[in-house]
């Protein structure tokens, strides 16, 4: 198993090498096709070429191929961008090839680039392998200049349209390519400011009231603004415009927003972005034109309904930017001017689902009643929508079951466990008249917290552990940090396709968008609605499933899934969500090879984990049991004991507690295996450190305070993580291990006698030397024998060890002579491999992530290149000695999807994680098997 895994990783290394040589070739402009054309007469690419053409480019080609109406264009490959990022230069021959492909567009459209008589205009669009909403900037109407704009006005007989297109182009180009942008978060966009200035001067409020004359003036002012800010003229040569725009798209791959996004979603910098250059079509030529965004199903709930919105006489950006609030696409059916377009769209909807095998999120534009498709991609969806869509589309045979599993974001499943409003508190808030308004439900769930207006404030309070709701008039990519930190997001402008809604859906945030009655005043720091005014820091609550916004806090309650699986307050048959969830889980189970266990210390946790699908315990931490009630007294008595007799006496008091605990756990497990770890933390963690508590303890034990203080001082360690802990304790105080072994076996005997199977797996922590393990195993076997004699119960059990320090991994072949199983303790293994204390890493690790020194937090996601090697060595050497050795992981990483995939690849038998992560692990394990084979 491990060997195949090694081979496989070599394979990918080779592939990566191949790819980079290809990129080098492309830079020489000889081999390596740099540009792929898509059009009715010639279509070079298709939907499978995401890596090379980006998601947008590949799907534009695919839509062209299946006969959907796509304006012609071409895609410059991601290889070219990777090359450009390295050299900061266009590869040789690229400019010529761009020109040649523009000629092809001219041929298909019958228009000419830069010709005032019949001008071809282009859009320049970025498109990485995975869509990155809002990260890359699009430039529309490229090719317009002071002359072609006159031609366009004449040709269309619509001067207002022509000049409006030109001013939009200058604005976008000035912003994206020439860098004329706002400097502070709450400042206005410089171009918006110029426009607002003009409107104010003219006494106009709506953009649509600007006449051709006004727009000509605006264009002049825009060009002046650019000259002022950059010292350069706005370029008049269309080819120069095009080259500048292409370079700007490449550059934007490395802008801050894009980098933050990639870090959050673990997208490698090396992927690069493609550039799509496409003939423009116009949704803003008049009232028989429109533009829209739609989903083939509802991305918030998963309902099988056509979902989306459109704006008449508008250009695409207007829908997404949330500047005007659009109409629901369903209304189009009743709009006489667009009824036939609507019918056509319904057909497109069915075709897309059938041909792409998943819910599509697509963009369209209607130019003089003719429909054009501008983009399609698999729709981002909430976890709720994900499970419903997977269930429905697999049953409808529209989606492959493998795709249903592979396309999941396992982490997002935790959304299904996210709270909803407590029913009573919610009803009360309504009765008390705290409902302020209802906006658009854009990200389901309930959020209640402090109101904030800026991303900075959201981050600041969020990182201090406060729940916040971020309210913005509309959000932009600059707000991303704040949106990540906030519990919920509220906007007063924009529709269900606005930036806020899009991002919220993807991140699983509660979101209410476009609550138009709300007035947000950034400068005063207030939010007003329905005669009430809330200030920054006031409590506010939003319901992202209904769109409601309430003043004040509202208690939250358990989700349906929790009510079915955890509290039992709802029956499975009463919860649709539960049924969809169960369908997906069953499907994942069908594919996965890895077993799924849980880290649980109480019968209660065990039952929860089993309800979520756990197949046993991968880690029970016995020390947690010592803190409850008056057990801690017996524990302290044991620690403070002067001699072995006194210690045994104290341990005898602990024994019945431990036995009861294990008994409860064995019963809850109903025959499933339980890995039980012996005492691990250093003893000083159990003793009181302040004088008052020491005095109390001394009185309780009938010894002097100074004796207690002396013992506590003696237990002090400079570096407890590397001190007297783990098996080192059991070796110094064998009677502790004896007591623990006795508790396990007596409990096992008792439960087994009642006819319930028990499968204890005793785990010795922090082993680095085989002899350490031998020492403890001898105790375990001896006690087992005694208990079996005493009770007459023969108990099947295993003894193994945690592999959690590098020496343990390196000498795994020796340790496996004794150990019947290994469980990788990746928390300590990470600490000791990296020489980095998890508890002290907060001071520098965030900076390391920022600087790219580490790709992800190694305590959250396994450092596969470093720690992963130790694990592989542990696996290989362990199997050398004991081919059938049982292998698992019990560190926090066991519930993190990337780490789960890694555990599958190196051939572990199971992962273990906290009860609530079990569904995540099941799904990730299913994906791992589909990606890498069982």
- End-to-end CA distance of the chain: give it in Å, rounded: 10
If one asks whether residue 171 binds Mg ion (CB under 5 A), the answer comes out as no
**Which one of 38-46, 95-103, 316-324, 568-576 is the stretch in contact with ligand ADP (CB under 6 A)?**
316-324
> Can you tell me which of 45, 91, 114, 316 binds ligand ADP, judged by CB under 6 A?
316
Tokens of 877: 């050497």
Q: Do strands 759-764 and 673-677 pair parallel, antiparallel, or not at all (unpaired)? A: parallel
- Rounded to an integer, what distance in angstroms lies between the CA atom of residue 743 and that of residue 749? 10
Q: Which of 291, 543, 598, 811 binds ligand ADP (CB under 6 A)?
A: 291
Instruction: Provide the token pair at 111.
Output: 């228009």
Is 716 part of the annotated catalytic residue set? Answer: no
Question: Mask of contacts with ligand ADP, 536-575, x by CB under 6 A?
Answer: ----------------------------------------
In the complex, least distance from residue 670 CB atom to Mg ion, rounded to whole angstroms? 28
What is the DSSP annotation of 93-153? THHHHHHHHHHHHHHHHT-EET-TTSEE-EEEEEEESS--TTTS--EEEET--TTHHHHHH
User: Counting contacts by CB under 6 A, is residue 320 touching ligand ADP?
Assistant: yes
- Pairing, β 539-543 against β 446-452: antiparallel
Q: Does 675 bind Mg ion (CB under 5 A)?
A: no
Q: Note whether 618 binds Mg ion by CB under 5 A.
A: no
Cα 28 to chain center, whole Å?
38
299 contacts ligand ADP (rule: CB under 6 A): no
What are the structure tokens assigned to 138, written together?
A: 């699009």
Q: Which of the choices Mg ion, ligand ADP, none does residue 675 contact, using the CB cut-off of 5 to 8 A by kind?
A: none
By C-alpha distance, which of 181, 264, 270, 273 is closest to 229?
A: 181
Figure out which of the listed residues 98, 345, 359, 374 binds ligand ADP, where binding follows CB under 6 A.
374
Give the whole-angstrom CA distance, residue 510 versus residue 415.
Answer: 10
Q: x/- binding map, residues 757-796, to Mg ion, per CB under 5 A?
A: ----------------------------------------
Q: In the 3-class helix/strand/coil scheme, how is 880-898 assigned residue by residue?
A: HHCCCCEEEECCHHHHCHH
- Residue closer to ligand ADP by CB (options 69, 664) is 69
Separation between Cα atoms, residue 307 and residue 300, nearest integer Å: 10
What residue 291 binds from Mg ion, ligand ADP, none (CB within 5 to 8 A, per partner kind)? Answer: ligand ADP
Structure tokens that stand for 769 in this block: 């030397």
Reading the block at residue 903, the tokens are 């555990």
Which one of ligand ADP, Mg ion, none is in contact with 382 (Cβ closer than 5 to 8 A by kind)?
Answer: none
* Burial profile 36-70: b = 16 or more Cβ within 10 angstroms, e = fewer: bbbbeeebbbbbebbbbbbbbbbbbbbbbeeebbb
Helix ranges restricted to H, 110-158 = 148-156
Closest CB to ligand ADP among 137 and 772? 137
To ligand ADP, the closest distance from the beta carbon of 123 in angstroms equals 3
Smallest distance, Å, CB 115 to ligand ADP?
18
Binder of residue 828, out of ligand ADP, Mg ion, none (CB less than 5 to 8 A by kind): Mg ion
Strands 435-438, 548-551: pairing is antiparallel
Burial of 156: CB neighbours in 10 Å, binned 0-12, 13-18, 19+:
middle
Largest CA distance in the chain: 104
- Using rule CB under 6 A, residue 143 touches ligand ADP: no
Q: What are phi and psi of 675, to 5 degrees?
A: -90, 120
CB of 37 to ligand ADP, least distance (A): 15
Count of residues of this chain found to bind ligand ADP when the rule CB under 6 A is applied:
18
Task: Answer for the pair 765, 815: CB distance below 8 angstroms, yes or no.
Answer: no
- Asked whether 446 and 420 are in contact (CB, 8 A), the reply is yes
Instruction: Write the binding mask 807 to 826 for Mg ion: x where contact by CB under 5 A, - elsewhere.
Output: ------------------x-
The answer to whether 519 and 492 are in contact (CB under 8 A) is yes
Q: Residue 313 interacts with ligand ADP (CB under 6 A)?
A: no
- Six token digits for residue 620: 């029970």
Nearer to ligand ADP, 140 or 566 (CB): 140
Nearest to 389 by CA among 572, 546, 576: 576
Give me the residues paired with residue 621 across strands. Answer: 677
Lay out the site mask for ligand ADP across 759-798 (x = CB under 6 A, - = otherwise).
Answer: ----------------------------------------
Task: Candidates 133-141, 197-205, 553-561, 568-576: pick the segment binding ligand ADP (CB under 6 A).
Answer: 133-141
Among residues 158, 375, 475, 598, the one that binds ligand ADP under rule CB under 6 A: 375
Comparing C-alpha atoms, which of 389, 383, 447 is closest to residue 415? 383
Give me the numbers of helices (H) and strands (E) for the chain, helices first please.
Answer: 35, 33
Burial 582-598 (b: 16+ CB within 10 A, else e): bbbbebbeebbbbbbbb
* Nearest residue (CB) to ligand ADP, 126 versus 864: 126
CA distance 401 to 576: 19
Binding of residue 599 to ligand ADP (CB under 6 A)? no
Please state, in angstroms and rounded to a whole number, the distance separating the CA atoms of residues 109 and 629.
81
Asked if 143 interacts with Mg ion (CB under 5 A), we say no
Q: Which stretch binds ligand ADP (CB under 6 A): 275-283, 478-486, 705-713, 806-814?
A: 275-283
* Interface with ligand ADP (CB under 6 A), residue from 78, 165, 171, 278: 278
Residue 86 CA from chain centroid, whole number = 28
Question: Which residue, 158 or 545, has its beta carbon nearer to ligand ADP?
Answer: 158
Instruction: State the catalytic residue, choosing from 214, 391, 499, 898.
Output: 499
Sole window of 272-280, 556-564, 609-617, 788-796 interacting with ligand ADP (rule: CB under 6 A): 272-280
* Other beta carbons less than 10 A from residue 389's beta carbon: 27
Site for Mg ion in 825-854 (CB under 5 A): 825, 828
CB atoms within 10 A of CB 187: 11
- Reference 43, options 74, 80, 77; nearest CA is 74
Q: Does 138 bind ligand ADP (CB under 6 A)?
A: yes
Pairing of strands 327-328, 532-535: unpaired
Q: How far is the CB of 364 from ligand ADP (least distance, A)?
A: 8
> What character string, x for contact with Mg ion (CB under 5 A) and - otherwise, covers 540-569?
------------------------------
- Say which of 890, 903, 904, 913 is annotated catalytic: 890
Choose, by CB under 6 A, the member of 281, 436, 489, 500 that binds ligand ADP.
281
Closest residue by Cα to residue 246 from 58, 95, 113: 95
Spatial CB neighbours of 224, under 8 Å, sequence gap ≥ 6:
none
Contact between 164 and ligand ADP per CB under 6 A: no
Q: What character string, x for contact with ligand ADP (CB under 6 A) and - otherwise, covers 16-55?
A: ----------------------------------------
317 binds, among ligand ADP, Mg ion, none (CB under 5 to 8 A by kind): ligand ADP
When CB distances to ligand ADP are compared, the closest residue is 316
Contact status: 365 vs ligand ADP (CB under 6 A): yes
**Interaction of residue 375 with Mg ion, rule CB under 5 A:** yes
Give the binding range for Mg ion (CB under 5 A) out of 375-383, 437-445, 605-613, 906-914.
Answer: 375-383
Q: Which is nearer to Mg ion, 755 or 835 (CB)?
A: 835
Instruction: Please tell me whether residue 862 binds ligand ADP under the rule CB under 6 A.
Output: no
Reply yes or no on whether 499 is catalytic: yes
Q: Are strands 290-295 and 360-367 parallel, antiparallel or unpaired?
A: antiparallel
DSSP for 735-751? HHHHHHHHHHHHHHHHH
The CA distance from 933 to 847, in Å, is 37
With binding defined as CB under 6 A, does residue 109 bind ligand ADP?
no
Tell how strand 526-529 and strand 519-521 pair up: antiparallel
- Nearest residue (CB) to Mg ion, 20 versus 255: 255
Q: Which residues bind Mg ion (CB under 5 A)?
A: 375, 804, 825, 828
Q: Which residues bind ligand ADP (CB under 6 A)?
A: 71, 123, 125, 136, 138, 140, 278-281, 291, 316-317, 320, 363, 365, 374-375
Q: Which residues are catalytic?
A: 499, 890
């Amino acid at each position: 198993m491990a060997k195949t895994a090694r081979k496989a990783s070599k394979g990918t290394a080779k592939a990566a090498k191949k790819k980079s040589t290809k990129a080098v070739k492309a830079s020489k402009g000889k081999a390596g096709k740099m540009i792929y054309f898509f059009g009715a007469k010639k279509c070079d690419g298709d939907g499978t070429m995401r890596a090379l053409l980006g998601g947008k480019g590949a799907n534009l080609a695919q839509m062209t191929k299946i006969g959907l109406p796509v304006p012609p264009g071409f895609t410059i490959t991601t290889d070219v961008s990777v090359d450009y990022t390295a050299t900061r230069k266009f590869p040789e021959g690229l400019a010529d090839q761009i020109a040649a492909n523009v000629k092809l567009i001219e041929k298909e459209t019958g228009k000419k680039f830069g010709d005032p008589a019949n001008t071809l205009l282009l859009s320049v669009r970025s498109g990485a392998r995975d869509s990155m909403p809002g990260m890359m900037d699009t430039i529309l109407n490229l090719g317009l200049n002071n002359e072609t704009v006159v031609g366009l006005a004449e040709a269309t007989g619509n001067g207002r349209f022509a000049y409006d297109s030109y001013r939009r182009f200058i604005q976008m180009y000035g912003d994206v390519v020439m860098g004329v942008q706002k400097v502070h978060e709450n400042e206005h966009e410089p171009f918006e400011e110029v426009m607002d200035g003009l409107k104010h001067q003219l006494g106009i409020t709506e953009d649509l009231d600007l006449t051709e004359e006004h727009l000509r003036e605006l264009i002049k002012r825009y060009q002046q603004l650019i000259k002022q800010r950059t010292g350069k003229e706005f370029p008049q040569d269309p080819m120069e415009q095009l080259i500048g725009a292409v370079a700007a798209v490449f550059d934007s791959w490395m802008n801050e927003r894009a980098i933050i996004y990639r870090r959050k979603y673990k997208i490698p910098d090396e992927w690069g972005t493609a550039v799509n250059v496409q003939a423009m079509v116009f949704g803003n030529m008049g009232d028989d034109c429109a533009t829209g965004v739609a989903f083939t199903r509802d991305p918030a709930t998963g309902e099988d309904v056509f979902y989306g919105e459109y704006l008449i006489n508008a250009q695409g950006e207007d829908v997404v930017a949330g500047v005007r609030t659009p109409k629901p696409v369903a209304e189009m059916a009743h709009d006489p001017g667009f009824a036939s377009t609507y019918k056509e769209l319904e057909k497109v909807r069915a075709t897309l689902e059938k041909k792409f095998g998943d819910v599509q999120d697509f963009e369209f534009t209607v130019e003089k009643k003719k429909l054009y498709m501008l983009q399609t991609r698999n729709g981002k969806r909430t976890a709720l929508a994900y499970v419903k869509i997977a269930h429905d589309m697999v049953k409808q045979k529209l989606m492959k079951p493998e795709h249903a599993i592979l396309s999941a974001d396992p982490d997002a499943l935790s959304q299904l466990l996210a709270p909803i409003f407590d029913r009573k508190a919610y009803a009360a808030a309504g009765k008390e008249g705290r409902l302020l308004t209802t906006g658009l439900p854009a990200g389901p769930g309930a959020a209640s917290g402090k109101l904030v207006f800026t991303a900075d404030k959201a981050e600041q309070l969020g990182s201090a552990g406060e729940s916040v709701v971020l309210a913005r008039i509309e959000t932009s990519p600059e707000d991303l940090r704040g949106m990540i930190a906030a519990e919920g997001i509220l906007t007063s402008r924009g529709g269900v396709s606005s930036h806020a809604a899009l991002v919220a859906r993807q991140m699983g945030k509660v979101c209410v968008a476009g609550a138009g009655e709300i007035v947000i005043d950034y400068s005063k720091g207030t939010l007003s609605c329905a005669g009430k005014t809330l200030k920054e820091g006031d409590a506010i609550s939003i319901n992202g499933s209904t769109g409601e916004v309430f003043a004040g806090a509202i208690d939250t309650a358990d989700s349906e899934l929790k009510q079915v699986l955890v509290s039992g307050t709802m029956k499975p048959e009463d919860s649709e969500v539960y049924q969809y969830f169960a369908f997906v889980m069953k499907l994942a189970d069908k594919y996965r090879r890895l077993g799924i266990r849980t880290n649980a210390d109480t019968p209660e946790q065990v039952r929860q984990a089993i309800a979520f699908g756990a197949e046993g315990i991968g880690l029970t931490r016995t020390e947690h049991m010592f803190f409850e009630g008056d057990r801690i007294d017996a524990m302290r008595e044991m620690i403070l004991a002067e001699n072995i007799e006194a210690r045994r006496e104290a341990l005898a008091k602990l024994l019945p507690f431990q036995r009861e605990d294990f008994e409860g756990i064995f019963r809850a497990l109903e025959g499933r295996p339980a890995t039980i770890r012996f005492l691990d933390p250093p003893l000083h963690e159990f003793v009181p450190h302040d004088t008052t508590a020491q005095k109390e303890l001394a009185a309780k034990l009938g010894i002097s305070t100074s004796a207690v203080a002396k013992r506590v001082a003696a237990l002090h360690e400079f570096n407890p993580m590397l001190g007297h802990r783990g098996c080192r304790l059991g070796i110094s105080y064998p009677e502790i291990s004896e007591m623990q072994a006795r508790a396990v076996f007596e409990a096992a005997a008792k439960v087994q006698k009642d006819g319930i199977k028990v499968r204890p797996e005793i785990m010795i922590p922090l082993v680095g030397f085989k002899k350490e393990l031998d020492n403890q195993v001898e105790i375990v076997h001896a006690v087992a024998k005694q208990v079996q004699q005493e009770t007459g119960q023969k108990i099947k059990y295993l003894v193994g060890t945690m592999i959690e320090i590098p020496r343990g991994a390196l000498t795994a072949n020796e340790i496996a002579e004794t150990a019947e199983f290994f469980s990788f303790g990746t928390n300590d293994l990470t600490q000791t491999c990296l020489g980095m204390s998890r508890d002290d890493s907060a001071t520098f690790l965030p900076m390391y992530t920022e600087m790219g020194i580490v790709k992800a937090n190694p305590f959250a996601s396994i450092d596969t290149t470093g720690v992963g090697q130790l694990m592989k060595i542990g696996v290989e050497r362990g199997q050398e000695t004991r081919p059938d050795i049982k292998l698992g992981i019990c560190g926090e990483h066991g519930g993190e999807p990337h780490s789960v995939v890694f555990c599958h690849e190196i051939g572990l038998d199971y992962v273990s994680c906290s009860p609530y992560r079990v569904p995540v692990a099941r799904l990730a394990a299913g994906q791992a098997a589909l990606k890498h084979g069982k």
